[in-house]
Chain A
Amino acid sequence: DIQMTQSPSSVSASVGDRVTITCRASQGISSWLAWYQQKPGKAPKLLIYAASSLQSGVPSRFSGSGSGTDFTLTISSLQPEDFATYYCQQANSFPMLTFGGGTKVEIK
């Protein structure tokens, strides 16, 4: 089974900061990776797919990069509505999908 490890588990940041979240796969997954945003009591929202493709309607301050085992989600200028928990998800072993443990972005 492919394991997905996110770091850090939480990060404190201020509005306007650049925030970077990392996701590492236990084996190579090419570009079969997505990023989701989840706010408390809400369903996850797809932000990035295929490692670096921006989902329609998602602000351009979100970007993804990486391939193989190491991936990054970057928020270029943190906005108040971006405080949430972010998850990576691998699709290399589709139909078995695996999510990372999550990274909570908190207000500093």
Chain B
Amino acid sequence: EVQLVESGGGLIQPGGSLRLSCAASGFTVSSNYMSWVRQAPGKGLEWVSVIYSGGSTYYADSVKGRFTISRDNSKNTLYLQMNSLRAEDTAVYYCARGQLWPNYWGQGTLVTVSS
């Protein structure tokens, strides 16, 4: 059974850093396109980043230069390193598997950026 479990969210001050993790089971992260999608409280969905099976990475303009997506093949885990966090980064962050239309999603982890 495919499972994605995010962790690492919490309350962080503006300008701070946080690393989110997404532990996968039932499939191999490195063989799949893996994305991060976020949802601000009461708002819609926003694509954040993707890592291809081949290792290429892409980012939304809103996070480019501040966020880094990566994976640890030995742990079958996806990561999102978030630096220089801003209030507008407050959201539930979901990891998701799939290329054009992600069809497996984790339960999400809440990141709150506030002083």
Contacts and interface: CB of A to CB of B under 8 A. Distances in A.
A82 to B, nearest CB: 19
A83 interface: no
Contact of A46 (B35, B37, B46, B102): B102
Contacts of A66: none
B47 interface: yes
A102 B44 contact: yes
A64 B105 CA distance: 21
Interface core residue of A32, A45, A94, A95 (most chain B CB under 10 Å): A95
Contact of B101 (A34, A95, A100): A34
Interface residues of A, number: 23
Contacts of A19: none
A69 interface: no
A55 B98 CA distance: 13
A98 B45 CA distance: 8
Contact of B105 (A44, A87, A100): A44
Given A34-B100, A46-B103, A49-B101, A97 B47 contact: yes
Contacts of A32: 100
A68 interface: no
B106 A43 contact: yes
A98 B99 CA distance: 13
19 contacts: A32-B100, A36-B45, A42-B107, A43-B94, A43-B105, A44-B37, A44-B94, A46-B102, A55-B103, A89-B45, A94-B99, A95-B52, A97-B37, A97-B47, A99-B45, A99-B47, A100-B44, A102-B44, A102-B45
Interface of A: 32, 34, 36, 38, 42-46, 49, 55, 87, 89, 91, 94-102
